[in-house]
Amino acid sequence: MQHNRLGNSELLTSEIGLGCMSLGTEENKATALIHEALDLGINFLDTADLYDSGLNEELVGKAIKDRRTDVIVATKVGNRRVPGKEGWVWDPSKAYILSAVKDSLRRLGTDYIDLYQLHGGTIDDPIEETIEAFEELKKEGLIRYYGLSSIRPNVIREYASRSGIVSLMSQYSLLDRRPEETTLPLLAKSPIRLIARGPLASGILTDQGSAKAERGYLNYTPEELAEVRAKLSSLTGDGRDLGQIAIRYALSDPAVGIVLAGASSSRQLRSNAAAATCSLLSPDELSVLQTITKANTYRDHR
């Protein structure tokens, strides 16, 4: 498993990470999947205080209790639960971040978080105040580094120019190539690295994804997705299935440090991890893949 450095940090992460949101809520199953991921060479685990109202962090914490030094733990903050009300409210305030980190540390059962990420963001947020919170936590040793999780180009530009983020998590796949327009060129000029989530496009970009394609995806109709899947499937072979081609595509841009893939079964996990040993996509193959799919762009938050 190749390891990449996130920004100017000391974080050497496996190029394929495990998105923990899809682990489920059963402790033994979640623990088994996390341990298998570590045994396969995956050392980057991503969770969030939002997932299952904090239970996901707890499951991750229990699973890594005896393997903490083998793991780079990433979690997120910014969505606050209001007592007595359903759902969450967006709160990127300094006071909330400094408070929420303590709850995440407790649930994870650790003294520090390797990568603490702002879970969203708008251009109207108190960005300087938010940055101050992360910088204070870093100085206190409660977090090692911080990053941003956002798909909004206007927000991404602000944090890239004003903060010490080492990573940006954003959706990126063959079916969502929006980062290629502005985000990846921006990161190419900096040490910040992309954590590409959703590389399999909700499972559509897998051999088993035909049924999921019937719901459509972004600006693709079900009919277009069926055609795209057929063309992509014709490129499989040489030890690469459709999902592994999709993961290798997301990893092909030099600004991408990690492809974050979820897994709810050992089969899915092993298939994702096997992309690390697949042959790289050639320039001609990349060109074909880009011809088959759309160069979709962001319409809002530009």
- Give the domain CATH number at 92: 3.20.20.100
CA of residue 201 relative to chain centroid, distance: 12
Q: pLDDT tens, 97-116?
A: 999 999 999 999 999 999 99
Q: Which domain holds residue 108?
A: 3-203+244-280
Q: Is the pLDDT of residue 193 over 90?
A: yes
Q: Is residue 122 part of a domain?
A: yes
pLDDT of res. 8: 92
Q: Is residue 225 part of a domain?
A: no
pLDDT of res. 205: 97
Give percent of the chain above pLDDT 90. Answer: 92
Confidence of residue 81 (pLDDT cuts 50, 70, 90): confident
Q: Is residue 135 part of a domain?
A: yes
Residue with tokens 């060479």: 41
Return d(Cα 286, Cα 87) in angstroms, integer: 41
pLDDT of res. 88: 85
Which DSSP helix (H) or strand (E) runs through 79? strand 79-81
Q: Is residue 117 part of a domain?
A: yes
Q: At a CB cut-off of 8 Å and minimum separation 6, what does 78 contact? A: 90, 91, 92, 96, 97, 118, 119, 120, 121
The question of whether 220 is a catalytic residue gets the answer no
Q: Phi first, then psi: what are they for 172, rounded to 5°?
A: -155, 125
Q: How does strand 16-19 pair with strand 256-262?
A: parallel
Q: pLDDT tens, 9-43?
A: 999 999 999 999 999 999 999 999 999 999 999 99
pLDDT of res. 82: 80
Return d(Cα 273, Cα 74) in angstroms, integer: 19
Q: How does strand 256-262 pair with strand 193-197?
A: parallel
Q: Is residue 291 part of a domain?
A: no
pLDDT of res. 9: 96
Confidence of residue 83 (pLDDT cuts 50, 70, 90): confident
What pTM was estimated for this model as a whole?
0.96
Mean pLDDT calculated for residue range 229-248: 93
Q: Is residue 294 part of a domain?
A: no
pLDDT of res. 239: 85
Query: What total number of domains does the chain contain?
Result: 1
Q: Is residue 290 part of a domain?
A: no
Confidence of residue 87 (pLDDT cuts 50, 70, 90): confident
